[in-house]
Structures are given as structure tokens and as C-alpha cells.
Structure 1
Amino acid sequence: MATSMDSRSQSHLPILNNSLQELKTEFCDFLPEGRVDWRSLKVLHIGHAKFTDEVMKNILSGSPLLESLKLKYCHGIHRLDIASKRMKKLVIYHILDLTGGQDDSALEIFSPHLEKLKILGSWGKTKCKLMNVSSLVSAVLDFQLDNYERVSSDFYEKYRNVIKELLEKIQHAKQLKIGTWCTEVLSILEVKAMASPLSTRKCLVLNFRYFKNWVFPGVANLLHNSPELEKLVIKISYGRSLQFNLDENFTNCYDIGESYWTSQNKIFNCLLLNLKTIEIFSHEEHLFENKYALAFVEFLLRNAKVLEKMVIFNDYPFHAPNKTDRLLKVAQKLLSVPRSSPHAVVLFPIPK
């Protein structure tokens, strides 16, 4: 019989338990000398905890059937060495920095059988280094590093290298979901004409908390380096944003406006050969009153030669004042855009 436990605000855990299959902890201490025997454990969520590498090693070695590990608001770990073939999912959210911003450490992840990886939240100045994730199928990069001080003669060098190295390690994953901060760092790579790794991904999810001009170059970079892309998903959820602190002196050197896409001279092989489905999700009433979002959607319709369908989901209440009129105007606008694919349809499902 499966058993589970949710432990909050406790200092002692059942480190010897042969039947426990799921464990969630908050604000718990893990003693370095404690032997762990969770031989039936499959799901482990740890929140607000301080670790050492030795403690984490004991937990992993004492949980041979572990399939899913989530670490949230944790600190003190420098290496996750997961050799188990059963480990399939790893989520790391918000690495705490208790050094006052002085630490410039890294968390190394070695997990050759991992299939799903999510790197989320604020990581302070801690870099994530993927040593071996060769079986990865799906990756989420929706995190940020602190970038309020100059860390080298080149303001952005550290951040460019972090994102570039991560993309190199996950280039074989079939799906990538990427957030605003990481995309804006890619924008820096793009405007400086620096090389980025090619990928074999089939699905790209853009998870933005706003849609503004300085995500454009990063999106162009991702499309250019995803020649086998078949599905593009755009999710726009307005709210607190993990965005890059771009220096005004830097941004003033580049003209990234509504005409960015029409001035593109790159060849996007995914648009020529493979992109068949585009899905757009928004909780915003005035999505297509955003000139940047509209410019990008028009670019896709004009250039995706094998596109079969573009589906636009809007969660704003359908019964809201003037909602029908607004949707009709958007539909008329998009339907008037010349489509490169003769088979492309644009759909606006009505929320139930």
C-alpha cells in the first residue's frame, strides 16, 4: 500500500522507513551523519532546507527507487550526482543565496537518465552547470541570476556564457520551455552576432510575462537554431516578471522596434520546412493591442510556409464588455495578413 507524508516545521524525519513512497518536507533539518533508508520512496519534495553535498548524497543513495525530486528554496548544495536509472524528473526552484551576494558558486548536475528538468526562480549568483543530462527529453529554463552589478569588463559576459552553456547541454531535448530573463540574455547574444548552439528540438514554448521588443532578438535566435521545430507555443501571463536588467546605454545602441521582423534577413529553416502548429495563450484582454505581439504573429503568418494552424486562446471572460467586438477586430486583422502557407487556418476557440 502506498504511503505518503507531508512534514512541515519539524526538525526530525523518519530516516528509516521502508514503506514511504512520497515525502514532502518544509523547514526540516537533515543531519549529515543520519543514514537514510527510504527504499520505497518515489517522490521527494524538499522546501526551505539547508544541505551539504554529503547529506544529499545520503538521501539519493538511500532512495534507490526515487523517480521525482523537487528542491525549493534550498541552499548549500554544490553537486547533484544522480546515477539512478529510475530518476526521471528534477525540479529546482529558487536557490537561496545566504552570502549577501558575495558567493559566485555553481550547482553541478550529473543525471544521465533524467528525462525532465526544470530550472526555475531566482538563483542569486549561483550558476547551474549541467554535466551530463544525455537522456533529457524536456527542459524548462525560466530562472534569473542577479545582474545589478558589473561582474567583469563586459557587463553581460557571465550571463551569456551561462545560457549558452545550458543550451549546449540540452540541445538534444525535444521540448524547451524558456522564460523572459533567459530570452533577453539570448537577445544580447543575437545583437552581438555571437554563435548559439543548434538544437534538434521539435517544440518550443515561450513563457513570457510580458511581450516587449527586447525579447525579439532572443526569439529570433531560438527560431534560427531550431531548424526541426514543428510546434511553437507562446504563453503570456502578465504579472511579476523575471526580466533582465538591461543597461540603457546598451539598449540605446540598437533599434529593436516593430519593424524588427520585417527587416530580418536570417533564414529560418523551421519556418520554411517544419513549423506546422502555433498556439498562443494569453490572460490579457488587450493581447493584440500590444504592437510587438501583433508584429511577431504577422511575421509568423507571412513566413511559415508549411503552417497548418494557428490557435489563439484568450482566457479573458468572453462575457466581458466588448469582448466579442475585440475578438472580431483581431480576427479581421489576422485574416487580412497574407499567409505563406495555403493550408494555414487561424482559430479562436471560445472559452466555455
Structure 2
Amino acid sequence: MERLANIEDLELGLLTNNRRYEFPQFAYKTASLRNLVLWNCRLNPFGNVNWSSLISLSIVYMGLTNGVMEKVLSGCPNLEYLELEKFSGIHRLEIRFVKLRELIMRDYKNENHDLWLELLAPYIQKLQILGLCSEIRIINVASLVIAVLCFDFYFEDEEQNLEKKFRFFKELLRSVAHVENLNLGSWCIKCLSILELTGWEFPPSSRKFLELGVEFEQLDFPGICCFLQSSLDLETLVIDWYDVESGVHIPKKVLQLA
């Protein structure tokens, strides 16, 4: 790849996990790019990044650093969509651009469990946290309207860190209590049930729309009931039911409550 003149859409990466493609320095100055997907690459810009036309960026299978991520984001002032999947290395993700409205984080792995990934994104409107994730702390998502939490916190020693998992999850729930549209996955429902059985009170919320991904096992029901009780302004409830025993995904049930 010697030049990227006037290219608007680019997907680039290697098929092997043993090597990472070194993203070329001249490509950081490709101002014509609008949609960029990078997987299994190595990002290391020597100077400033100029992706001034970029509106969509997906980064997959990458080890990052805070400095590289800051350089990349500073060079994308018109970015609207950011997806980070199977990534590691960063402990602070700060997004101050008004135009960036949607962020997806899937399978974040942190080797140092004494550090959290802190998210500051005051202007994003939709946030998805998916898959197996290490510790994530939401500092500021003041404009958030839609939150999709379909994940499980990942720790090497599950039993010793069970209490730590619950602490992170409670903090995460408080951080998105203001959103109008909330989607919770099956692990989150089970976690809610355990917290409810220990006497924890869910923070009240003004959410209008709630989607629950449930397996309808015995442990699911306490969390579902108590979470509904904290959703006093709820207008629409969607149940996405997966039957574990039969392996059947039941069509979603939509209930209009107002």
C-alpha cells in the first residue's frame, strides 16, 4: 500500500494473530477517508493524525496506549461513530467532540486490574458495552440517551472477585440511571437478582424504554421485578427471551405500559 489518495472507505488488517500490520505513517494524513476499519494492526503515529473527513472508525484486535488513542481521536474532529472491539492497553478514553454520538466497546481486556478504563464522553448519545470486559468506569456521559449493557465483567479469579464485580456493576448502573432507553443482557439481570437478594436498592430512574435479555431461570425473577419497580416512568418494556434448555430464541415480546 503506497498511497491512499482520495480513498474514502478502507478496511485493513492481517488474518494471523501472530503478526500485526504496521500502519504506514503516510496513511495518517489521508484526509479523504470517511469510513475506516482496522483489525490486527499496530498504530504508532509519529506526528499528528489528519483524518478530518472520517465519520466512522472501527478498531479490532489491537493493543493500544492512551497516547496513541488521544492522537487518533484528535485527528478525527468529524467522527460520528467509534467501535473498539477486542482491545486492550488504554485506561482513559476521553471523547470531547460534539459530533461523535455512538460508541461501542466490546471485549475490553485490562492486564492491570488496579487500573480501570475511565470513559469521559459528555456528548455521545448511544453507548454499547458488550462481551467480556475488564473494569470500566463511566465518568461523564451526560448526553446519553441509549445504553446497551450486554456484558460480563472478566476477572481471572472469579470467586475472589465476585464482590468486586458487583461493585463495578452498581457504579455502572448509577452512571446510566438518567438514560431514556436501557437494554440489559442476561448476566446483568442475574447480577441484579443477587444484589436485590442482598438488600441493595436500585437507583430510581426516569427511563421510558427498557429491554431485558433474559433466560428466565429462577435467579432472573428477583432482579427483573425490583428493576421494574425502580422504573416509575416506564412506557415500553421489551422481553428478549432465550430458552437455555432448548436453545430456542423466543421472538421478542413488546409491552406498552403507557
Q: TM-score range by the shorter chain?
A: 0.7 to 0.9
Of residues 221, 230, 233, the one that matches 1:228 is 233
TM-score (norm. length: structure 1): 0.64
Partner of 1:190, secondary structure, is: helix
Which amino acid in structure 2 is aligned with residue 216 of structure 1?
Answer: F
- 2:198 maps to which residue? 192
- 1:107 maps to which residue? 117
Of residues 222, 233, 249, the one that matches 1:283 is 249
- 2:18 maps to which residue? none
Q: Determine what percentage of the aligned residue pairs are the same residue.
A: 35
User: CA 1:24 to 1:224, structure 2 compared with 1: closer, same or farther past 3 Å?
Assistant: same
Of residues 23, 35, 53, the one that matches 1:22 is 35
How far apart are the structure 2 equivalents of 1:67 and 1:225?
32
How far apart are the structure 2 equivalents of 1:239 and 1:73?
26
User: CA 1:206 to 1:29, structure 2 compared with 1: closer, same or farther past 3 Å?
Assistant: same
Tell whether 2:58 aligns with 1:52.
no
Return the offset for 1:183.
1.3
C-alpha deviations, 1:13-50, integer Å up to 9, x for none?
A: 41111111110011010015342110000000000011
Within 5 Å, give how 1:1-352 maps onto structure 2. 3-9=8-14, 10-13=21-24, 14-31=27-44, 33-97=46-110, 99=111, 103-123=113-133, 126-146=134-154, 148-151=157-160, 156-208=162-214, 210-237=215-242, 283-284=249-250, 307=257
Which amino acid in structure 2 is aligned with residue 127 of structure 1?
Answer: E
C-alpha deviations, 1:253-303, integer Å up to 9, x for none?
A: xxxxxxxxxxxxxxxxxxxxxxxxxxxxx7349x9xxxxxxxxx9xxxxxx
Q: Which runs of 5+ in 2 are unaligned?
A: 1-5, 15-20
How far apart are the structure 2 equivalents of 1:83 and 1:170?
18
Return the offset for 1:238.
5.1
Which amino acid in structure 1 is aligned with residue 23 of structure 2?
Answer: H
Q: Which runs of 5+ in 1 are unaligned?
A: 241-281, 288-296, 298-303, 309-352
Which amino acid in structure 2 is aligned with residue 221 of structure 1?
Answer: C
Return the offset for 1:150.
3.3
How far apart are the structure 2 equivalents of 1:68 and 1:53?
19
- 2:3 maps to which residue? none
- Contact map agreement 1:164 1:197 (CA 8 A) in 2: no
Return the offset for 1:106.
1.0
Partner of 2:225, secondary structure, is: helix
Bigger proportion of residues as helix:
1
How far apart are the structure 1 equivalents of 2:13 and 2:219?
41
C-alpha deviations, 1:108-137, integer Å up to 9, x for none?
A: 0001001000000001xx211110000000
Which amino acid in structure 1 is aligned with residue 130 of structure 2?
Answer: L
Larger Cα-atom Rg: 1
TM-score (norm. length: structure 2): 0.86
User: CA 1:89 to 1:307, structure 2 compared with 1: closer, same or farther past 3 Å?
Assistant: closer
Partner of 1:18, secondary structure, is: coil
How far apart are the structure 2 equivalents of 1:178 and 1:19?
38
Off by >4 Å, runs of 4+ in structure 1? none
C-alpha deviations, 1:293-345, integer Å up to 9, x for none?
A: xxxx9xxxxxx9x857xxxxxxxxxxxxxxxxxxxxxxxxxxxxxxxxxxxxx
Count of aligned positions: 241
Which amino acid in structure 1 is aligned with residue 147 of structure 2?
Answer: A
For the aligned residue pairs, the C-alpha RMSD in angstroms reads 2.5
